[in-house]
């Protein structure tokens, strides 16, 4: 009879322990699932934030906005074609206030490699401003 | 002999008296076991709730929501509509979750006050319309507005109105607004593309794929700025323009003005009649008689099909009469002109004679080879079909030679001109950059030699002809002006309504870029001596665009020697007076 009772107790204990373990495992699984969902949500939020930032970046770097800001705060205007040269020999000396040419050491600067912005003597007008010239260019 | 059975409780030998005790003992044990089990379960559960689950930090409600999400699979996100980028990776279109405002009319107490407050927060919401929406007794959901900004959302929340709420949904956002309006297109509220690339690439975008365009937003901005400036200067009603790579057909910039903010595209499309002006795509959908720019094709047809030398002459001393048409020259030279002279003076009479020399059939075949006689396949669906003369009589051959009687799209004009100047290979314009470069064999339309001659003639137009204002020292611009009186249907032509254009390419000795500008109904100014022709309106705009392109793309101005100008050999075909006059003018 003692043996039978011991068996009963053992079964009972094992049921309790197994039940406890099962609950623990199930809770661990649920917690892991919640963690996964939480992480997924966080990732999604980060992705959304990135999308918003990219859109804002694109908007803030809009060429018309940059151009307006450069003009307003830096006084920059649109470049002229003659500002871009590839060979330093083709740079005409900068003019001083009296209209004379300044040597490179004083006004201009030595350049090399790719194009840079350097003031250059404007090209002569291609036509007279007479009305016959105007008519010629029409159409 | 059997051994006495032991009592389960006491362990003593079973007797008759102890049977009752034994039963009681067993029942007690069973009952005790049940209680122990129950308390054990409660203990485990308490442990679970307090220790195991209690460490998560979230409330029960949050936990339940997380459990629901984990079970329901709501996180399996539907593919979001893909992004659209320019050729340098600048974001042009994306989808963001934005709040949409809706009302539960049952919960709103002071409806007139709410309608008034909402119209103050959202200027586009009309108070009376809002009131009629929220004054519905049975409805529990009335949509009020999409794309609520954070500031507006805060103001709505400050109202403290329980009947106003937000729901978050994907909205299509265009960070650059109106920059690429007609080519990019827009979607409806459900995210379905309604026009432009949004429509033509619907399946790819809806599947979450990104699309890269051939557009460069820096060039797009420069093109748009200069066309808008020209429109303002000449009080024009509309304008359009394009920058194209003459070899690949890549459209680097494409503008149709007036344009609209793509973020308001759906709202504008709701009233297409009212907003027709801004919604019209003048670049790929509108068809126009472009006038003298068509002489590029007439002259190329003559040089290619008839093997005519540049020294060939055409009698432009008197107008030509064909049926009810009288063909005059705008810049009447009233003399016999060589091929370069016909081209640089933009002689209608000379071009008509050229077309006659080629013949109606060959002209049609040539224009067909250039893709000007049928609707062109393109990366967006808004593409216009050309209006060609039917039937094609002798008068058609003559009028088409100088760009009247045939209406084509600006897209067709640019693609055909690119073919003429790029060495003679057929160009297929493209707007969507292929994910993997596809090298298609290009059909040869004209010979390299004819292309070279055409480039020299186009350079001549800029150095000595009608397009001088398109010249940019150092960049070898070549091109052709065009000024067409707009068609008035069966009534003929509106002499006061012009369509002025210039199509050019640079560097013209080995072209890389094609630039086209078209100004609709420009009005002459004091500075232009009253002229509103292509040479006075579109040509200077092209010069400014080329200048901007040089700065943006880093093209230096000192790579070309003026002594090597490809138009110089043509001077021997030009009457000396004109060359002398030009030399004097430049001194």
Chain B residue with Cα closest to A9: B33
- DSSP reduced 3-state for B574: coil
- Classify residue B123: in a domain, yes or no: yes
Say yes or no: A8 and A58 in one domain. yes
Q: Determine the pLDDT at residue B394.
A: 85
Say yes or no: A106 and A56 in one domain. no
Say yes or no: B194 and B225 in one domain. no
Q: Residue A27 and residue B52: Cβ atoms within 8 Å? A: yes
Number of domains in chain B: 2
Say yes or no: B125 and B260 in one domain. no
- Classify residue B471: in a domain, yes or no: yes
- State the DSSP code for B48: I
Say yes or no: A90 and A58 in one domain. no
Say yes or no: A43 and A6 in one domain. yes
CATH number of the domain that residue B207 is part of: 3.90.1310.10
Bridge partners (DSSP) of residue B165 are B102
- As a whole number of angstroms, the distance between CA B572 and CA B338 comes to 10
- Classify residue B64: in a domain, yes or no: no
Domain hosting B373: range is 219-586
- CA B23, distance to chain mean position in Å, is 92
> Quick check: A129 pLDDT over 50?
no
Q: Determine the pLDDT at residue A134.
A: 46
- Classify residue B439: in a domain, yes or no: yes
At A106, the pLDDT band (50, 70, 90 cuts) reads very low
Chain B residue with Cα closest to A125: B586
- DSSP reduced 3-state for B572: helix
Say yes or no: B179 and B270 in one domain. no
Q: Determine the pLDDT at residue B53.
A: 65
Residues of B in contact with A66 (CB under 8 A): none
Number of domains in chain A: 2
Q: Which of B196, B218, B240 is the last residue of a domain?
A: B218
Token pair for B183: 């080519």
Say yes or no: B277 and B325 in one domain. yes
Selected for mutation to probe chain B from A63, A85, A87 (highest B CB count within 10 Å) is A63
Say yes or no: A9 and A60 in one domain. yes
Say yes or no: B186 and B225 in one domain. no
Say yes or no: A41 and A90 in one domain. no
From the DSSP assignment, how many helices (H) and strands (E) are in chain B? Answer: 20, 16
Say yes or no: B244 and B380 in one domain. yes
Residues of B in contact with A67 (CB under 8 A): 221, 225
Q: What is the Cα gyration radius of chain A?
A: 40
Token pair for B162: 């329980």
Give the H or E element holding residue B35. helix B18-47
Say yes or no: B303 and B178 in one domain. no
Say yes or no: A60 and A6 in one domain. yes
Q: Residue B547 and residue A61: Cβ atoms within 8 Å? A: no
Write the Ramachandran bin of B423: left for phi over 0, alpha for psi from -120 to 50, otherwise beta: left
Chain B residue with Cα closest to A136: B466
Say yes or no: A99 and A51 in one domain. no
| Mean pLDDT score across all residues of chain A | 73
First to last CA, chain A: 121
- Classify residue B266: in a domain, yes or no: yes
- CA B10, distance to chain mean position in Å, is 96
- Classify residue A28: in a domain, yes or no: yes
Q: Which of B218, B250, B269 is the last residue of a domain?
A: B218
B132 in catalytic set = no
- As a whole number of angstroms, the distance between CA B452 and CA A6 comes to 108
Say yes or no: B293 and B172 in one domain. no
Chain B residue with Cα closest to A129: B585
Bridge partners (DSSP) of residue B517 are B241, B502
Say yes or no: A11 and A36 in one domain. yes
Q: In chain B, which stretches have pLDDT less than 50?
A: 1, 583-587
From B256, B292, B351, B500, the catalytic residue: B292
Q: Determine the pLDDT at residue B323.
A: 77
Say yes or no: A58 and A94 in one domain. no
Q: Are B578 and B584 in contact (CB under 8 A)?
A: no
- Classify residue A103: in a domain, yes or no: yes
Which member of A23, A33, A59 has the closest CB to residue B175?
A59
Q: Which of B160, B186, B218 is the last residue of a domain?
A: B218
Residues of A in contact with B294 (CB under 8 A): none
Say yes or no: A47 and A12 in one domain. yes
Residue environment code for B454-479, b if the CB has 16+ CB neighbours within 10 A, otherwise e: bbbbbbbbbbbbbbbbbbbbbbbbbb
Q: Residue A18: how many CB atoms within 10 A of its CB?
A: 10
Q: Are B115 and B130 in contact (CB under 8 A)?
A: yes
- As a whole number of angstroms, the distance between CA A118 and CA A88 comes to 10
Residues of B in contact with A38 (CB under 8 A): 66
CATH number of the domain that residue B367 is part of: 3.40.710.10
Token pair for B156: 């709505």
Residues of B in contact with A46 (CB under 8 A): none
Say yes or no: B226 and B371 in one domain. yes
Say yes or no: A55 and A86 in one domain. no
- As a whole number of angstroms, the distance between CA B418 and CA B475 comes to 17
At A113, the pLDDT band (50, 70, 90 cuts) reads very low
> Quick check: A105 pLDDT over 70?
no
CA dist B18 to A6, B21, B55, B56, Å?
21, 5, 53, 55
**pTM greater than 0.95:** no
- CA B307, distance to chain mean position in Å, is 40
Q: Are B350 and B342 in contact (CB under 8 A)?
A: yes
- Classify residue A133: in a domain, yes or no: no
Say yes or no: B187 and B254 in one domain. no
Which member of B5, B44, B175 has the closest CB to residue A55?
B175
Residue (of B37, B72, B234, B479) closest to A16 by Cα position: B37
Say yes or no: B158 and B263 in one domain. no
CA triple B40-B46-B49, angle to 5 deg: 140
Chain A residue with Cα closest to B581: A127
- DSSP reduced 3-state for B103: strand
Say yes or no: B297 and B405 in one domain. yes
Domain hosting A43: range is 2-64
Interface confidence (ipTM) of the complex: 0.78
Q: Exposure of B272 by Cβ count < 10 A (0-12 exposed, 13-18 middle, 19+ buried)? A: exposed
Which member of A34, A86, A137 has the closest CB to residue B469?
A137
Residues of B in contact with A55 (CB under 8 A): 91, 94, 96, 173, 175
- Measure A128 CA to nearest chain B CA, in Å: 6
- Classify residue B17: in a domain, yes or no: no
- Classify residue B7: in a domain, yes or no: no
Q: Residue A31 and residue B557: Cβ atoms within 8 Å? A: no
- Classify residue B6: in a domain, yes or no: no
Selected for mutation to probe chain B from A17, A22, A113, A139 (highest B CB count within 10 Å) is A139
Q: Exposure of A7 by Cβ count < 10 A (0-12 exposed, 13-18 middle, 19+ buried)? A: exposed
Which member of B45, B66, B531 has the closest CB to residue A138?
B531
Bridge partners (DSSP) of residue B257 are B239
Q: Determine the pLDDT at residue B501.
A: 96
């Amino acid at each position: 009879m003692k043996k039978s009772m011991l068996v009963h107790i053992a079964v009972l204990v094992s049921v309790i322990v197994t039940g406890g373990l099962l609950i623990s495992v199930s809770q661990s699984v649920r917690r892991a699932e919640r963690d996964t969902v939480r992480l997924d949500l966080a990732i999604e939020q980060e992705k959304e934030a990135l999308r918003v930032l990219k859109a804002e970046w694109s908007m803030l770097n809009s060429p018309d906005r940059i151009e307006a800001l450069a003009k307003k705060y830096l006084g920059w205007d649109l470049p002229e074609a003659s500002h871009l040269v590839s060979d330093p020999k083709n740079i005409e000396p900068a003019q001083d206030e009296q209209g004379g040419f300044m040597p490179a050491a004083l006004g201009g600067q030595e350049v090399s490699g790719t194009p840079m912005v350097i003031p250059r003597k404007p090209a002569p007008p291609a036509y007279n401003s007479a009305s016959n010239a105007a008519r010629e260019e029409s159409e | 002999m059997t051994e006495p059975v032991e009592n389960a409780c006491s362990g003593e030998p079973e007797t008759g008296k102890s049977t009752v005790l034994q039963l009681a003992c067993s029942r007690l044990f069973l009952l005790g076991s049940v209680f122990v089990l129950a308390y054990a379960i409660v203990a485990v559960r308490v442990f679970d709730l307090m220790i195991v689950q209690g460490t998560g930090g979230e409330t029960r409600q949050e936990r339940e929501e997380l459990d629901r999400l984990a079970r329901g699979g709501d996180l399996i996100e539907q593919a979001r509509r893909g992004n659209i980028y320019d050729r340098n990776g600048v974001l042009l279109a994306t989808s963001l979750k934005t709040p949409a405002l809706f009302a539960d009319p049952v919960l709103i107490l002071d409806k007139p006050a709410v309608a008034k407050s909402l119209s103050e927060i959202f200027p586009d919401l009309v108070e009376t319309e809002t009131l009629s929406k929220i004054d519905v007794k049975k409805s529990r959901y009335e949509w009020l507005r999409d794309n609520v900004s954070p500031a507006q959302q805060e103001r709505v929340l400050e109202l403290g109105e329980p009947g106003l709420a937000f729901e978050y949904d994907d909205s299509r956002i265009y960070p650059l607004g109106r920059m690429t309006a007609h080519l990019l297109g827009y979607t409806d509220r459900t995210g379905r593309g309604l026009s432009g690339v949004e429509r033509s690439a619907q399946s790819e975008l809806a599947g979450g794929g990104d699309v890269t365009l051939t557009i460069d937003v820096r060039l797009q901005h420069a093109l748009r700025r200069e066309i808008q400036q020209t429109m303002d200067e000449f009080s024009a009603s509309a304008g359009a323009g394009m920058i194209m790579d003459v070899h690949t057909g890549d459209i680097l910039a494409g503008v149709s003005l007036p344009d609209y903010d793509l973020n308001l595209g759906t709202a504008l499309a709701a009233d297409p009649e009212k907003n027709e002006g801004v919604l019209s795509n003048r670049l790929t959908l509108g068809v126009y008689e472009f006038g003298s720019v068509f002489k590029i094709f007439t002259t190329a047809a003559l040089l290619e099909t008839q093997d005519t030398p540049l020294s060939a002459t055409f009698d432009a001393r008197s107008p030509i009469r064909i049926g009810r048409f009288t063909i005059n020259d705008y810049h009447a030279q009233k003399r016999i002109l060589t091929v370069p002279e016909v081209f640089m003076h933009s002689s209608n009479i000379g071009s008509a004679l050229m077309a006659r020399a080629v013949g109606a059939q060959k002209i049609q075949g040539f224009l067909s080879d250039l893709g000007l006689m049928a609707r062109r396949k393109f990366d967006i669906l808004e593409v216009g079909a050309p209006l060609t003369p039917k039937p094609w009589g002798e008068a058609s051959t003559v009028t088409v030679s100088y760009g009247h009687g045939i209406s084509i799209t600006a897209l067709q004009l640019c693609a055909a001109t690119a073919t003429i100047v790029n060495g003679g290979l057929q160009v297929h314009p493209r707007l969507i950059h292929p994910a993997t470069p596809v090298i298609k064999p290009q059909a040869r339309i004209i010979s390299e030699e004819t292309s070279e001659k055409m480039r020299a003639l186009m350079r001549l137009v800029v150095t000595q002809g009608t397009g001088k204002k398109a010249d940019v020292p150092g960049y070898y611009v070549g091109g052709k002006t065009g000024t067409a009186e707009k068609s008035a249907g069966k009534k003929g032509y509106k002499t006061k309504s012009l369509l002025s254009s210039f199509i050019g390419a640079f560097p013209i000795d080995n072209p890389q870029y094609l630039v086209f500008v078209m100004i609709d109904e420009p009005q002459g100014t004091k500075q232009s001596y009253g002229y509103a022709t292509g040479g006075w309106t579109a040509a200077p705009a092209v010069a400014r665009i080329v200048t901007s392109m040089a700065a943006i793309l880093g093209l230096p101005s000192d790579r070309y020697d003026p002594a090597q100008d490809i138009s110089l050999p043509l001077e021997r075909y030009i009457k000396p007076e004109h060359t002398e006059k030009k030399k004097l003018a430049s001194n």
